[in-house]
């Protein structure tokens, strides 16, 4: 850099000297025409030099001024030479200018060479920065994508593998020990990765704690899995970072393609899918891409998107299954059940989407919507059929919602439903997750005036003491006990459950009644209420209204 500055300074001095010499050449005839004294001859030369200095001061803003005096001086000198009037001193001055031009050319060439050398160095540095990760020194995503695209675009008899490696729990480690330790760990991991692959393999850092290895020219599939296992074994060895001894686990996903033709995005997505499977299996291991599992995951992702879309577009609807009084089989209430009116699949039952909705954290939103729809509909039925009951299910995520009581209160206020006509159902398994907390929340709900029903009664209690701890009003006998009654030749289990319910002064409702024989058994056992396909399937609100109207007309006729 210092040499380049010196050459630039010398070039400017020569350029300025040529300009001044050109002006002197222009005034040379005036100096020759003087009376012969040095004083009179120096006046034109001094004037030319002063003019030249003035020009040099403004030349940076007007570069053409540097070339005008030289061009004019050469033209005038040429004319005077043809006329035989060019003085010897002017000839020597012209020769000096020619030498200066040669020097200027040499200096410019040296400066250009230095500049080219510097530009080459800068380009090499920029190229390295463009393809290298600054933290680990490995290749970066851009370098990996270009190399992988090149390898995958060429048809070959060998196979190419991509291994995606991710450090398990790196974020927590980074938060605990700080970013400086985290950076050192990433550099150590990069060194171990690079040391366990072949010379022609590519190791790059994709993002944060995620690395990728490109293995071209493989002869068999097991070689890629072996490299992944070897890399993980090396990464799992204890290491010391910034004076801290630690052991870091890693997971890997392997994707293999043969014959070329695959895109980089496709193969990388397969490796990511395999990595995801390794994480689901507990981490610290390598998994190879499995097309069948990938298809299932794709199906699951599509279902997730469909559920979210259905919520936004209002594709869910509420159906109601009648609850009847076995003495006369009159409908005294309904259980609200969510259904999905899918634009392609038609009516989808809850068993096919509720578990996925729970995993996505959507059940509180779905459950809140069902509660409000059901309460609003119950108010309509209450006007014509006073005392009509509405049963609505609570999910585990709803029960754990700290705002549940406030939300139920708000729904009752918005819809105008009297609390005593609302029955909130939850299963034994949900209630037993945290018995003490469940008892507290259910007590607060009962303080609102609603009633509590325990669904699937008889399938989840490990001790009858749990029943007395919960503020329950209604127990719903599980369908498995009801359906087993005619087959067993007796009703011992259902009868025992009914006896327990009466012991705790709870109102029993039998679920899953599918035929007249089961209904008769329940009457004999003095079970007052039941629901099931024998009486009615879940149906839209309009069908329930028609059913209630028919029952009312029948009662009038009777």
- Please list the pLDDT of the chain residue by residue as tens digits (558 residues): 555 556 556 656 666 565 556 556 555 555 555 445 555 445 455 555 565 555 555 555 445 555 556 655 555 655 555 555 555 555 555 556 555 555 555 555 555 555 466 555 556 455 555 678 888 888 889 888 888 888 888 766 788 889 999 998 888 888 888 888 888 888 888 899 888 888 888 899 988 889 999 998 888 888 888 999 999 999 888 888 777 888 888 999 999 887 666 788 889 998 998 998 898 888 889 999 888 777 777 777 788 888 888 888 889 999 999 999 998 888 999 999 999 998 888 888 888 888 888 888 888 889 999 999 999 999 999 988 898 999 999 988 898 889 999 999 999 999 999 999 999 999 877 877 788 888 899 999 999 999 999 888 767 654 566 777 889 999 998 888 888 776 655 556 778 888 888 888 899 999 999 999 899 889 988 898 999 999 999 999 999 999 999 888 777 765
How far is residue 30's CA from residue 23's CA, in Å, rounded to a whole number?
12
**Helix (H, G, I), strand (E, B), or coil: what is residue 484?**
coil
How far is residue 473's CA from residue 229's CA, in Å, rounded to a whole number?
58
**Helix (H, G, I), strand (E, B), or coil: what is residue 57?**
helix
pLDDT for position 58? 52
Whose CA is closest to 327, among 514, 522, 528, 140?
Answer: 528
Contact 318, 338 (CB under 8 A): yes
Which residues make Cβ contacts (< 8 Å) with residue 516, sequence separation at least 6? 534
Backbone angles phi, psi at 342, to 5 degrees: -75, 135
pTM here? 0.59
pLDDT for position 29? 59
CA atoms within 13 A on the CB side of 121: 7
- Please return the burial class of 92, using the count of CB atoms within 10 Å of its CB with bins 0-12, 13-18 and 19+: exposed
Q: How many residues does the chain have?
A: 558
**String of b and e for 14-37 (b: at least 16 CB within 10 Å)?**
bbbbbbbbbbbbbbbeebeeeeee
Question: Helices H, strands E: what count in the chain?
Answer: 22, 16
């Amino acid at each position: 850099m210092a040499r380049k500055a010196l050459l630039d300074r010398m070039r400017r001095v020569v350029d300025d000297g040529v300009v001044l010499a050109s002006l002197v050449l222009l005034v040379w005839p005036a100096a020759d025409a003087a009376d012969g004294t040095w004083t009179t001859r120096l006046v034109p030369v001094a004037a030319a030099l002063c003019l030249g200095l003035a020009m040099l001061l403004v030349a940076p803003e007007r570069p053409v001024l540097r070339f005008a005096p030289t061009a004019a001086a050469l033209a005038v000198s040429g004319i005077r030479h043809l006329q035989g009037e060019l003085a010897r001193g002017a000839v020597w001055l012209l020769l000096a200018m020619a030498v200066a031009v040669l020097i200027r050319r040499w200096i410019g060439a040296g400066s250009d060479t230095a500049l080219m050398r510097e530009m080459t160095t800068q380009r090499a540095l920029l190229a390295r920065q463009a393809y290298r990760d600054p933290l680990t020194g490995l290749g970066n995503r851009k370098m990996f994508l270009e190399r992988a695209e090149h390898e995958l675009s060429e048809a070959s008899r060998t196979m190419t593998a991509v291994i995606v490696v991710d450090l398990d729990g790196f974020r927590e480690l980074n938060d605990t020990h700080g970013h400086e330790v985290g950076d050192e760990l990433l550099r150590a991991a990069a060194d171990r990765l690079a040391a366990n692959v072949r010379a022609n393999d590519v190791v790059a850092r994709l993002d944060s704690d995620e690395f990728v290895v490109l293995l071209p020219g493989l002869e068999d599939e097991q070689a890629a899995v072996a490299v992944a296992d070897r890399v993980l074994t090396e990464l799992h060895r204890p290491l010391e970072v910034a004076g801290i001894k630690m052991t870091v686990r890693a997971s890997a996903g392997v994707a293999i393609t043969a014959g070329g033709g695959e895109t980089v995005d496709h193969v990388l997505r397969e490796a990511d899918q395999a990595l995801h499977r390794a994480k689901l299996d507990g981490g610290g291991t390598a998994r190879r891409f499995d097309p069948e599992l990938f298809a299932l995951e794709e199906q699951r992702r599509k279902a997730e998107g469909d559920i979210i879309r259905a919520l936004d577009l209002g594709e869910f609807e509420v159906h109601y299954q009648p609850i009847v009084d076995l003495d006369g089989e009159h409908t005294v209430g309904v259980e609200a059940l969510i259904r999905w009116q899918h634009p392609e699949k038609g009516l989808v039952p809850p068993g096919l989407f509720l578990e996925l909705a729970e995993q996505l954290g959507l059940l509180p939103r779905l459950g809140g919507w069902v509660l409000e729809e059901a309460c609003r509909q119950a108010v309509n039925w209450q006007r014509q059929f006073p005392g009509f009951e509405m049963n609505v299910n609570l999910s585990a995520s709803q029960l754990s919602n700290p705002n549940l009581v406030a939300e139920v209160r708000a729904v009752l206020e918005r819809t105008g439903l009297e609390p005593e006509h609302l029955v909130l159902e939850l299963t034994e398994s949900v209630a037993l997750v945290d018995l003490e907390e469940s008892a507290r929340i259910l007590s607060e709900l009962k303080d609102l005036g609603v009633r509590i029903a325990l669904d699937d009664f008889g399938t989840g209690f490990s001790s009858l003491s749990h029943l007395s701890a919960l503020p329950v009003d209604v127990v719903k006998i599980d369908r498995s006990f009801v359906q087993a009654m005619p087959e067993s030749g007796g009703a011992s289990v259902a009868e025992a459950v009914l006896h327990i319910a009466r012991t705790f002064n709870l109102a029993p409702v039998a679920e899953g009644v599918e035929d007249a024989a089961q209904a008769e058994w329940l009457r004999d056992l003095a079970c007052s209420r039941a629901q099931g396909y024998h009486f009615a399937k879940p149906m839209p609100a309009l069908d329930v209204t028609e059913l209630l109207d028919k029952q009312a007309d029948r009662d009038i006729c009777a």
